[in-house]
Structure 1
Amino acid sequence: MRVQDAICEGHGECHRAHPRLFPLDEAGHTAVPDGTVVPKGMEEAAQLGIDVCPAQALAVEPMRQGR
């Protein structure tokens, strides 16, 4: 997952969509590290969290060879 911390506005929509996949820090911003690999079987939940982000701070990035 691509996470752009500088763009996150702390709306928390991703967290509401799936709290385990999208934890928040104490300020209410996403605490998901950039480059996090979405667990197998959680792709739909991750996409939902990404889709509901009003700031568009999250994206799915294809896995690169060797990762």
Structure 2
Amino acid sequence: MSPTETAPAAAPLKGYRTLIVNGALAIVPVALQYIAGVDWTQFVSPSIALTIVGAANLGLRLITSTPVAKSA
């Protein structure tokens, strides 16, 4: 790349999407139970919930190209 060329802009939240999704998967059920009294275990068993989180993690790692918490 020559000095006059600029690097392509990084995608928004690049390197943090996996952390954000995992944080949401951890916080949302607790928040729903606390705020609205929703018992998520009536809809999804804990073992299935763990499988969903694992699948989301694997899917995100397959489609992401940067290390976690690194923007480039």
After TM superposition, the score normalised by the length of structure 2 is 0.27
Higher helix proportion (structure 1 or 2): 2
Query: Which has more radius of gyration?
Result: 2
Higher strand proportion (structure 1 or 2): 1
After TM superposition, the score normalised by the length of structure 1 is 0.29
